[in-house]
């Protein structure tokens, strides 16, 4: 039966040998208490907790699901979740990277990101509760008044209270300009009226209070997204009164059965403005950007647990004979299916993409910390640019690949994978939503192409291409790296060319950019993953351990069997919009 073991060796390798964490962290005074060994100790302990306490509840909670009481408008989470939540707060999962002044531990956000991956491997539905709290805390930290921060942050940090993001309404998801929830000024606060849907952990029994961050319109606000403001709407106000924001029902979903997805009705609920009037979208993006990296991590976390499950199965299950006589196990009537080329192909498709996705996730996590606390403003600005550029890539590519990888792992198990017994079908169902929420993957692609690339005439892209190009150039003489550097450089060249073409075409006709944005994002992601592999390969040279040797073999698989996907993507990007815009609406 499946179990989970955190990839601590890979985590340490990336931190120490790829990201140069010891030196990077030494340069950040804010994080001086979190050297590599301290970080690894925290990660190791949390990983143990997640594997032993969180993972075993994953499959039973999926089967049990949630109970909604229509009378009381309450939601009961599956057996064991309350105790688990309490323990996870004690473990410091909600407080780790929050500021010390509000009771947090002040650790780098990077560590929080790594713990996210581990948690999401173990119990995605459960982990979303604290994931949403982090988004709410970020928004309050950056946009709320000092009074609101002092009143609400300490208990969010401790986990006594949880947070939500209330954006979507029945008539609008992608297009938030259509929001109609109203906020009417009343005394020192506002009365909010409207209906929000798809509110994750909008109602539940894990925390004593739920702090909703709600997008709504002030009276006389301009139409569209320029007239949206952000409000803090607690389930219980500070005086202990029940605020009329009620759960009107739960969605019945393909997966994340243990994560309540609520309809929330605001019936003159008391709210307090967060940030400036009509600047709610800006504050919302603070939550969204962190949340988008978090959702990307869901793709990686699920791909990792799926890989572990499939590999465990492939080592045990015996079926048919190796085609290579030398590999046949004469003591048995069949060989472990791990001998078969196609089983290896499927596993390596997953392993050779999971590992550079992890490197990229942590690389981006480090940039996030640099952007916030690096002493040099120029370094902060550059790191911030790179986070902005890579956020849509991580969200979209990791979830798309994560879903494919989970499905590929299911295939390794054959019929067993389709039954509940191995939980892998749950992983496929659970991760499917990650391609949709926090902005569908195409919205990420539009963010990349329509928002991030045009900034300052390509400043973000140029920074990235220069950074990556510099690495390739610097290592160009390294004969041992040639087999990896050459295709990587070629891919970067292709991306450069297509980016220029896209900028020109997209300027003349926005539909051209939108038509190829999704494929462009995937090609961009593969380019960055090949860079990550080069960073990993470089860290392996001259280190003749089993771990490092395996890394090189896995990298080779990526370059021969995954990177060629760029060939198709390039052709599709070059094809442009013609064939997709040509049919009339009636011709579909």
Catalytic machinery residues: 438
3-state SS, residue 500: helix
Residue from the set 32, 345, 467, 482 that interacts with a second copy by CB under 8 A: 345
Strands 209-216 and 161-166: parallel
Q: How far is the CB of 293 from a second copy (least distance, A)?
A: 20
Cβ-proximal residues to 116 (8 Å cutoff; 6+ apart), any chain:
127, 131, 294, 297, 301
Q: How far is the CB of 567 from a second copy (least distance, A)?
A: 4
3-state SS, residue 324: coil
| Total chain residues near a second copy (CB under 8 A) | 88
Q: How far is the CB of 2 from a second copy (least distance, A)?
A: 15
Q: Determine if 320 is a binding residue for a second copy (CB under 8 A).
A: yes
Residue 223 phi, psi (nearest 5):
-70, 160
CA-CA-CA-CA dihedral for 141, 143, 145, 146, to nearest 10 = 20
Residue from the set 41, 73, 442, 499 that interacts with a second copy by CB under 8 A: 442
Residue from the set 36, 141, 172, 379 that interacts with a second copy by CB under 8 A: 172
**Contacts to a second copy from residues 195-214, by CB under 8 A:** 198
In whole angstroms, give the CA distance from residue 224 to residue 383: 31
Q: Which strand (E) or helix (H) includes residue 311? A: helix 280-316
Which residues is 505 bridged to in the sheet? none
**Contacts to a second copy from residues 359-418, by CB under 8 A:** 403, 407, 410-411, 414-415, 417-418
Please identify, using beta-carbon distances, which residue of 42 and 262 lies nearer to a second copy: 262
**Contacts to a second copy from residues 478-507, by CB under 8 A:** none
Surface-to-core class of residue 309, CB atoms within 10 Å of its CB (0-12 exposed, 13-18 middle, 19+ buried): buried
Residue tagged 């030398």 (tokens): 326
Residue tagged 């709504």 (tokens): 216
Q: Determine if 433 is a binding residue for a second copy (CB under 8 A).
A: yes
Under DSSP, the state recorded for 185 is E
Residue from the set 517, 528, 529, 539 that interacts with a second copy by CB under 8 A: 517
In whole angstroms, give the CA distance from residue 162 to residue 167: 17
Q: Determine if 13 is a binding residue for a second copy (CB under 8 A).
A: no
Task: Copy the structure tokens of residue 68.
Answer: 């909604």
- What DSSP line would sit under 98-127, residue for residue? S-GGGT-----HHHHHHHHHHHHHHHHHHH
Q: Determine if 560 is a binding residue for a second copy (CB under 8 A).
A: yes
Q: Determine if 217 is a binding residue for a second copy (CB under 8 A).
A: no
**Contacts to a second copy from residues 236-255, by CB under 8 A:** 251-255
Residue from the set 47, 445, 532, 534 that interacts with a second copy by CB under 8 A: 445
**Contacts to a second copy from residues 129-168, by CB under 8 A:** 168
For residue 256, which of 6, 441, 66 has the smallest C-alpha distance?
Answer: 66
Q: Determine if 571 is a binding residue for a second copy (CB under 8 A).
A: yes
Q: Determine if 582 is a binding residue for a second copy (CB under 8 A).
A: yes
Q: Determine if 556 is a binding residue for a second copy (CB under 8 A).
A: yes
Residue from the set 314, 409, 534, 535 that interacts with a second copy by CB under 8 A: 314
Q: How far is the CB of 120 from a second copy (least distance, A)?
A: 17
Residue from the set 37, 69, 267, 324 that interacts with a second copy by CB under 8 A: 324
């Amino acid at each position: 039966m499946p179990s989970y073991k955190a990839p601590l060796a890979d985590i340490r390798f990336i931190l120490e040998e790829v990201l140069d964490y010891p030196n990077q962290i030494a340069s950040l005074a804010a994080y001086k208490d979190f050297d590599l060994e301290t970080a690894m100790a925290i990660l190791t302990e949390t990983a143990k907790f997640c594997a032993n306490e969180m993972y075993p509840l994953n499959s039973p909670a999926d089967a049990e699901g949630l109970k909604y009481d229509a009378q009381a408008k309450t939601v009961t989470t599956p057996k064991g979740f309350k105790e688990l939540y309490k323990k996870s707060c004690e473990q410091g999962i909600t407080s780790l990277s929050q500021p010390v002044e509000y009771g947090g531990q002040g650790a780098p956000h990077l560590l929080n990101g790594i713990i996210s991956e581990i948690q999401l491997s173990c119990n995605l539905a459960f982990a979303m509760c604290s994931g949403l709290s982090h988004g709410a805390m970020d928004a309050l930290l950056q946009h709320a008044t000092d009074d609101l921060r002092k009143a609400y942050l300490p208990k969010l940090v401790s986990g006594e209270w949880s947070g939500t993001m209330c954006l979507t309404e029945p008539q609008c998801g992608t297009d938030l300009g259509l929001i109609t929830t109203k906020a009417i000024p009343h005394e020192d606060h506002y009365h909010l009226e409207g209906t929000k849907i798809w509110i994750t952990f909008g109602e539940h029994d894990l925390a004593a209070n739920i702090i909703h961050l709600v997008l709504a319109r002030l009276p006389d606000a301009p139409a569209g997204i320029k007239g949206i403001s952000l409000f803090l709407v607690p389930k219980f106000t500070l005086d202990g009164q029940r605020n009329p924001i009620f759960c009107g029902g739960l969605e019945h979903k393909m997966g994340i059965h243990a994560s309540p997805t609520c309809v929330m009705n605001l019936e003159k609920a008391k709210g307090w403005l967060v940030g400036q009037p009509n600047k709610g979208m800006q504050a919302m993006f603070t939550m969204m950007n962190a949340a988008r990296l978090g959702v990307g991590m869901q793709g990686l976390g699920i791909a990792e647990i799926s890989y572990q499950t499939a590999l465990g199965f492939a080592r045990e299950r015996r079926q048919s004979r190796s085609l290579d006589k030398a590999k046949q196990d004469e003591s048995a009537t069949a060989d472990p299916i791990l001998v078969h080329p196609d089983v290896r192909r499927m596993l390596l498709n997953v392993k050779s993409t999971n590992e550079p996705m992890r490197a990229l996730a942590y690389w981006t996590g480090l940039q996030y910390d640099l952007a916030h606390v690096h002493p040099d403003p120029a370094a902060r600005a550059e790191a911030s640019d790179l986070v902005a550029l890579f956020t849509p890539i991580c969200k979209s590519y990791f979830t798309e690949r994560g879903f494919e990888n989970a499905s590929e792992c299911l295939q390794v198990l054959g019929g067993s994978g389709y039954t509940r017994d191995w939980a892998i079908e749950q992983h496929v169902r659970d991760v499917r939503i990650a391609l949709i929420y926090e902005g569908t993957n195409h919205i990420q692609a539009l963010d990349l192409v329509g928002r991030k690339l045009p900034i300052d005439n390509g400043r973000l892209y140029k920074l990235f291409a220069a950074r990556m190009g510099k690495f390739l150039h610097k290592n160009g003489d390294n004969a041992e790296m040639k087999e990896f550097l050459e295709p990587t450089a070629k891919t970067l060249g292709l991306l450069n060319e297509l980016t220029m073409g896209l900028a020109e075409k997209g300027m003349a006709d926005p539909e051209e950019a939108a038509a190829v944005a999704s494929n462009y994002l995937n090609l961009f992601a593969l380019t960055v993953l090949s860079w990550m592999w080069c960073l990993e390969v470089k860290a392996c040279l001259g280190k003749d351990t089993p771990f490092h040797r395996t890394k090189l073999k896995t990298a080779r698989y990526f370059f021969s069997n995954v990177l060629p996907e760029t060939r198709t993507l390039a052709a599709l990007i070059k094809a442009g919009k013609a064939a997709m815009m040509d049919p009339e609406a009636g011709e579909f």
